[in-house]
Amino acid sequence: MHSGGFVLRNRPIARALLRLSVSSVAGTFVGGVLVTLWVAVMNLRADDGPYFPPPFVAFVVVLPVTLTLLPFQAFVELVHAGARRLPWWAIEAVGVAGGLSAAFLLCRFFFEPSPSQRLGTVTTTLVFCLLQALVALSSQRVLAPRRRAP
C-alpha cells in the first residue's frame, strides 16, 4: 500500500511553507532592487573610494532583513493555520513591526554612519526595511487561502 508521501499527507503544511517561501522571495526581490539602486546612487555621488558592487551589497543587506522577517511571517502562518484569518490591517501591522525590527537591527549592528550622515542613513534604512516587510507580508496575505462561509 502506498503511503502517499510527506507532501501529500501534509498539504496544509506544504502550502504554508510554499506561501512563506514565495512571500519571502517577493520581499527579498523588492528589497534587493531598492538596495541595489541605493548603493549605485551612493557610488555615483561618492568622490572617494572604495566603490562597492551594488548587487553584492544588496545581498549582504537584504539577507539579514529577510531572516529578521521570517518569525513575523511564521506568526501570520500560525494564525492562519488556526481557525481565524487576520484582517488586512493586522497583517500590515505585523509587517510594520517586522520592518521596524529589521531596521533597528541593521542600524545597530551593520551600519555605523558618521554624525553628518546618520539621519539620511537611518531614514533610508527604515524606508527600505518597511517596504520589504510590507511586500513580503502583503504577498503572504494575498497567497493565503480564503475561508468559506459556513
Q: Within a domain: residue 76?
A: yes
Give me the pLDDT at residue 1, please: 46
pLDDT tens digits, residue range 113-139? Answer: 666 667 877 888 889 999 999 999 888
Q: Within a domain: residue 48?
A: yes
Among candidates 58, 56, 53, 51, which has minimal Cα distance to 34? Answer: 58
pTM of the model: 0.79
State the Cα–Cα distance between residues 28 and 132, nearest whole angstrom. Answer: 7
- Window from 4-8, 55-59, 99-103 with minimum mean pLDDT: 4-8
Quote the domain boundaries for residue 59. Answer: 5-143
Q: Within a domain: residue 139?
A: yes
For residue 144, pLDDT over 90 is answered with no
Give me the pLDDT at residue 88, please: 83
Give me the pLDDT at residue 148, please: 55
Q: Within a domain: residue 149?
A: no
Q: Within a domain: residue 148?
A: no
Peptide bond before residue 115 is cis, with ω within 30 degrees of 0: no
Total domains in the chain come to 1
- What 3-state class would DSSP assign to 4? coil
State the Cα–Cα distance between residues 134 and 131, nearest whole angstrom. Answer: 5
Could you tell me the pLDDT band of residue 25, with boundaries at 50, 70 and 90?
very high
Q: Within a domain: residue 150?
A: no
Give me the pLDDT at residue 125, please: 86
